[in-house]
Amino acid sequence: MMRRSAAAAALLAVVLVVAHAGPASAVGFGFGPLVYTVDVAETFGQLPIAAGDAFDALDMAFGDLGVSEPDRAAIREDLDEGLQNVVDSLNGFPTILPIPHLGGFVEIPLPLVVVDGLRLGGGYLSEGLVKDVAGLFGVVIPSPLLDVAFDEDGFSGSIEADLRFRSFALSTELAKSLGFFLGAIDLTAGVSWVGGDIVPDVSIDVPEEMEGGVADALDALHLDGFTWSAFAVHAGVGIEVGPPFLRIGLRARIVLPLSASSGWWEIGVGDFSGSIEVVIRF
């Protein structure tokens, strides 16, 4: 009986320690996937403009090659029909897209009345990182992504295309944690800076007579215009589950951009971000 009482008392002591151990009293860090969103509603609206200008350039290129007016009209009709199919398919497509990053944070304790810690966080994504992660799972991403040769009615050439991209997210925020048994809820507020770009690399080999028109068509697509950035304030709520020294954290944040910029394709930064992390404190 004495042993059972002693064991119960020891267990109660451990529970009390765990229940009152607040994450704010320790230095910590976390790592895991981080997500912020981009808004491509305006981007979809730019598509018909860019495609129309590119089609005009191609029409001139076919004319320089000696293609007859009726054949050029048929080609343009096919291109317009294909574009309309793309536009129609985008009508039901979400305009707020998540961008996942490999991220993490470091938390420094601030024993103040309303603030428990200062968190410095960030995340990064690039085509090289995606290929490395895919390789870990035995998936090989070809480079270039597209390499096609064609020969139609004596008209021959080739298209080679690849894609480079990068995205980053940096944040500084103050956190107030409310600890409970094997977990905690925290409230955060701070500032963040996010940005990125997508760089299509397209090379088209065509007869010399068409080179100028094809170059104009590529220029009309504004391939250097897939850029975005924003400086924002944010507020969030998170939950952590597990003992104080090792927890799984899930956080969601509302983002309010104070200043933003984008390239020709008008990619905007969305109003939501979040993360899932393994959190270690000591």
Looking at per-residue pLDDT, the higher value among 23 and 236 belongs to 236
Q: Is the pLDDT of residue 25 over 70?
A: no
Contact 277/249 with Cβ under 8 angstroms?
yes
**How confident is the model at residue 152, as a pLDDT?**
65
**How confident is the model at residue 44, as a pLDDT?**
92
CB neighbour list of residue 74: distance below 8 Å, 6 or more residues apart: none
Q: Is the pLDDT of residue 10 over 80?
A: no
The confidence band for 6, taking pLDDT boundaries of 50, 70 and 90, is very low
User: To the nearest whole number, what is the mean pLDDT of the chain?
Assistant: 86
Mean pLDDT of 60-75: 79
Strands (DSSP E) contained in 5-84 are 28-39
Mean pLDDT of 56-82: 82
CA-nearest of 228, 203, 223 to 214 is 203
Domains of the chain by start residue, with CATH: 27-41+99-212+223-281 (2.40.160.20)
- Range of weakest confidence among 149-163, 202-216, 266-280: 149-163
For residues 236 and 239, give the distance between their C-alpha atoms in angstroms, rounded to a whole number: 10
For residues 23 and 28, give the distance between their C-alpha atoms in angstroms, rounded to a whole number: 8
Q: Cα–Cα distances in Å, from 243 out to 19, 46, 117, 220?
A: 9, 50, 18, 57
pLDDT digits (tens, 9 = 90+) for 106-125: 999 987 768 889 999 999 99
Looking at per-residue pLDDT, the higher value among 156 and 160 belongs to 160
Asked, as a colleague might, if the bond just before 207 is cis with ω within 30 of 0, I would say: no
